């Protein structure tokens, strides 16, 4: 089975950033200095909920679930990256190795592709590093492309079960940060967020939002992180 070949407008002038670890937190060395990753910035939001979940299920089970989710997500992202770059053009010839490596992820990938082929074109970024001097954050974006004809940040997720919108506010804030970084670096407006989640049942969930709706929350999250870091410094 032949797959769609996408039009790509990849931005070649985006810098290669060096990822570093400062105080146990991920940072990126940019031409303007060291900036925390947007994932690091958002990590302090909802910490109480994570601690409560670990206490409820126990550390051993929490570690098992986290490791499984990380492995599944890494394989899924790898397949999508190869697919969008045109490295998987025939499912029949590629499926054998993919099935042997992780059959469950291959199934999720096939379900995702059926939807994505009708939605995405004109790809600008795939797993590229971005940063913002205005917001002083950095990170690696899954994808920036046209989704239903609108330049969008597209974030791909796998999940054990379906998500409710109120559970994933951080995803929208993270996507907004990438949109701001991309526009700052390229001058190309990016106005839409697309969170594409594939649960274990294989039925994709697609959440589409406006970047404008989450800009104030992004600013607040960065301010909270900076205050948190300053308080930690004073407590030393």
pLDDT digits (tens, 9 = 90+) for 122-162: 999 999 999 999 999 999 999 999 999 999 999 999 998 89
Helix (H, G, I), strand (E, B) or coil at 11: coil
* Segments making up each domain of the chain, as ranges: 18-235
- pLDDT-derived band at 93 (thresholds 50, 70, 90) equals low
- Asked whether 83 and 1 are in contact (CB, 8 A), the reply is no
- Asked whether 195 and 206 are in contact (CB, 8 A), the reply is yes
Q: List the structure tokens of 213.
A: 């709706």
- Asked whether 5 and 115 are in contact (CB, 8 A), the reply is no
What does the buried/exposed string (b/e) look like for 217-226 if buried means 16 or more CB atoms within 10 Å of the residue's CB? ebeebbeebe
pLDDT digits (tens, 9 = 90+) for 180-212: 999 999 999 999 999 999 998 889 999 999 999
- Mean pLDDT, the chain, rounded, equals 85
- This prediction has a pTM of 0.87
- What is the secondary structure of 120-182 as a DSSP string? EEEEEEEEEEEEETTTTEEEEEEEEEEETTEEEEEEEEEESS---GGG-HHHHHHHHHHHHHH
Residue 16 CB coordination number (10 Å):
6
Query: What is the biggest distance separating any 2 CA atoms in the chain, rounded to whole angstroms?
Result: 60
CATH of the domain spanning 18-235, picked from 1.20.1070.10, 3.30.70.20, 3.40.1350.10, 3.40.50.1370: 3.40.1350.10
């Amino acid at each position: 089975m032949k797959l769609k070949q996408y039009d790509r407008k990849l931005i070649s002038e985006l810098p290669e950033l060096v990822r570093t670890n400062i105080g146990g937190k991920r940072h990126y060395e940019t031409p303007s200095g060291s900036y925390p990753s947007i994932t690091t910035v958002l990590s302090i939001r909802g910490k109480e909920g994570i601690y409560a979940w670990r206490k409820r299920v126990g550390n051993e089970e929490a570690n098992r679930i986290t490791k499984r989710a990380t492995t599944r997500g890494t394989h899924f992202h790898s397949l999508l990256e190869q697919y969008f770059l045109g490295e998987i053009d025939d499912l029949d010839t590629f499926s054998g190795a993919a099935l042997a490596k992780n059959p469950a992820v291959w199934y999720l990938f096939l379900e995702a592709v059926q939807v994505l082929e009708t939605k995405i074109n004109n790809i600008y970024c795939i797993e590229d590093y971005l940063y913002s001097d205005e917001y002083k954050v950095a990170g690696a974006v899954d994808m920036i492309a046209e989704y239903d004809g609108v330049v969008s940040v597209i974030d791909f997720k796998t999940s054990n079960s379906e998500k409710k919108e109120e559970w994933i506010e951080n995803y929208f804030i993270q996507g907004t940060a990438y949109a701001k970084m991309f526009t700052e670096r390229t001058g190309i407006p990016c106005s839409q967020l697309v969170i594409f989640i594939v649960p274990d049942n294989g039925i994709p969930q697609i959440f589409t939002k406006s970047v404008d709706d989450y800009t104030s929350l992004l600013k607040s999250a960065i301010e909270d992180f900076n205050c948190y870091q300053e308080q930690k410094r004073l407590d030393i």
